[in-house]
A and B are shown apart, each in its own frame.
Chain A
Amino acid sequence: MLLSKGTFHISALWNTLSITRLFCPFNKRRNLTHLYLDEAALVSGQEALTEFIESLPSSKCQVQSLDCQPVNEQASQGQTTLLVAAGGNVMFERNKSRFFNRNFLLTAQASPNNNQPVWKIASDCFRFRIDLE
């Protein structure tokens, strides 16, 4: 398949505490680095992931649409899993607003800190369009 020009992809496994944090702009990501797990699909290892994310310019996301579906047990092997799909505009420093689509697979896992399970991001896929200069 031919490449769709001007997009990038990041897929990783990382922790999160709540869904709202998923949409924090990239320039706040430094707060989240400690939340990264070791395994990562595209970028492996916490450090590499951190490094990759830190290499991204700061951004601001505006979420316009949000949808989610529960993932069938058969797929998730009994682990409560949620598919979250978001769409909207993202603005990087150069003041250009671009469409983005982002989807997450969230799974509930027992938390060592709490009695209640917490959501963790098993997958994060972020794509946006860049106009070719």
Chain B
Amino acid sequence: MAYFNEDNHRIAPLHVRKHRGPYKGSSFRRDRQRGNHHGGFGGPGLLSRLVIDRDVTMSDSSQDSSSQPRYNPYGREFCKGDGRMDRDWRQGKGGGGRGGGRGAFRGGTRSRTGWFKITIPHGKKYDKKWLVPALQDICSIPYTPIQYHDDHNNVHFYVDDFTTASALRKCSRKVTDCDGYKVVVHIKRSDPPNFLFPNLKVEELEHLKQCMSKRFDGSQQALDLTSIHTDPDLVSQNIKVALNRKTNMEAVIKIIEENIPQLTSLNLSHNCIQRLDELSELVTKVPHLKALNLSHNDLKSEHELDKLKGLKLVELWLVRNPLCDLFKDPSSYVSAVCQKFPQLLKLDGNDLPPHIGFDVETPTTLPPCKGSCFGSDDAKVYIQRFLQQYYSVYDSGDRQSLLGAYHDDALLSLTTPYNVQNPSRSGLREYFKDSRNLKRTKDSTMRFHLLKHKRLNVVALLNELPKTQHDITSFTVDVNAYTNTLLSFTVGGVFKEVVVDDKSKESTRAFSRVFITVPAVNSGLCIINDQLFIRMATTEQISRAFVAPAPTPSSSPVPTLTAPQQEMLSTFSLKSGMKLEWSLKCLQDNEWDLNKAAQIFTQLKTAGKIPDVAFLK
């Protein structure tokens, strides 16, 4: 409403019902009414009233440092415009009377006086002297077409506020020309017509430069351009500089770039700045800028600040800009600004909480990769041997003979991660029913059931699992604990599920298995706890696995036997009746001393310590 009244007020002196004749007379009269301008269309009088008066307090010397408050980010009261306007308004002078019906005003940007470009299609054919009054007759608001010109066949001119433009739009198709066509009027928001902003002349630029250098503090690398248009040096020379004009702003930035590019602090407050398009150049031209004061300006939206992205601002002033009003509360305002300038430490004079980043000191590299960790050599020997034997049976297609590897009281459980993203396609379906995952299975009976106890149950479960082929070369072994009574180790690697029939597919899996073993006969290991984790292998694992030809289940593991050893093995196997693997073990245990091995074998057999599975059927 305040806008409206203010606009209205400004219109009121324009509203020259008495002088409604041909427009070219009225401007003079209007100016005379004002009494303090030279008059003349487009001359300084109109110029100053239309542009400068509204936006910039020029003739009054009142320095605006403690000016009429423009925008309070946290309050609703505002008085827009320069002092003179406000005074008059408050005193009720001028036409405050027009009520609400003037179009959809909001207390926001739309009701701001802004320039509109009026277009009359095919208007070139009309005589200006006919067209303008013809429209004026219909138009409820007196208007002054500014920069009336034609462009191809169309006529354009500018008016400087929404009410006028809107009124003109209503005149569309109301006037009929002598050919019988209706005159169409289009309106469109636009930048101010550029004739109003002539580039500063060279001498003027020089004065501007002098003025700026006076305002520059070398010790602080700070430039204070507050309210530059009121600077006495410029005013006295009649140089009109307004930083809300593109050309002027560009000129200023150029002067900064050429003379003080290492500037760190810039004050642009009280300059009616609406847009920051030109200031975006600061990012590259004044890269060291750390403090920027844009308070008491006309920035309408936080998106204007995006144009300054890249400036590593530490301090920013934005108070008394329309954009501040748009935030519901102070914290969303602060938050939005901080997002654009993450290094900001001070906003509107208030310290901000420090930006919380990541602890840069933490190392980002992982320690070097290591392979198996056996901890000790003899553990290594036990384990290697164990694994070779175990997996040769495991992969053989019949896991029954693994009974001998397990303790009576052994425990086994299997875990397969549930693929949340793709449960049906995880391909681990065969394992799901036996998978024991305490995160998913809450029922205690189920939990109990899934933990296989006693070696018969253990092996029964193992027999149900798909036939496999393990790549022993891919194994890593880590010893968890090694005491007199316990050797626990974790084995990780990959295996293939072998195609058995039409139903099965060859898939590669990755596994991690924890064995807890106790000493067994013949320096063997007896499994007392077995925890098996199976997941899908990664593509990398698949490509690297099975590179070397995997040992076939029946072939003997890694140590290649010499010819005499092989012969000894077959002899021993024949004589003892034990399977090759078991015969091999016995021979290895006894340093390939056939007699000694035979002796030990006999002893153990008599004592009943050799499990049935060791024997050939």
A residues lining the B interface (CB < 8 Å): 1-9, 11, 27, 41-42, 52, 55-58, 63-72, 74-77, 83, 85, 87-88, 92-94, 99, 101, 103, 105, 122-123, 125, 127, 129-132
Contact = CB atoms under 8 A, between A and B. Distances in A.
B360 to A, nearest CB: 11
Interface in B463-502: 472-486, 488, 490, 492-493
Nearest to A94: B364
Contacts of A7: 369-371, 476, 492
Nearest 4 A-B pairs (CB), nearest first?
A: A3-B371, A101-B512, A123-B480, A4-B476
Contacts, number: 189
B293 interface: no
27 contacts: A1-B472, A1-B475, A2-B473, A2-B474, A8-B367, A8-B370, A11-B478, A27-B362, A56-B363, A64-B437, A65-B440, A65-B533, A66-B438, A66-B439, A67-B436, A69-B531, A71-B529, A72-B518, A74-B409, A75-B485, A83-B488, A92-B366, A93-B364, A103-B480, A105-B516, A127-B490, A130-B369
Contacts of A83: 488, 514, 516, 529, 531
Contacts of A58: 359, 362
A27 B409 CA distance: 40
Interface in B403-447: 407, 409-411, 413, 415-418, 436-440
A105 B517 CA distance: 13
A76 B486 contact: yes
Given A64-B417, A131-B540, A87 B535 contact: yes
Nearest to B412: A69
Contacts of B367: 8, 52, 55-56
A41 B373 CA distance: 10
A64 B437 CA distance: 9
B471 to A, nearest CB: 9
A76 B512 CA distance: 22
A87 to B, nearest CB: 5
Contacts of A94: 364
A102 to B, nearest CB: 9
A65 B363 CA distance: 28
A105 B365 contact: no
A88 B451 CA distance: 21
A99 B481 contact: no
A65 B375 contact: no
Contacts of A65: 415-418, 437, 439-440, 533
B306 to A, nearest CB: 26
A56 B366 contact: yes
A68 B480 contact: no
A72 B478 contact: no
A83 B418 CA distance: 21
Contacts of B475: 1, 4
A99 to B, nearest CB: 7
**Residue among A1, A105, A122 with the highest chain B CB neighbour number at 10 A:** A1
B541 interface: yes
A41 B492 CA distance: 19
Nearest to B368: A8
A49 to B, nearest CB: 13
Contact of B528 (A72, A87, A123, A129): A72
B439 A42 contact: no
Contacts of B370: 3, 7-9
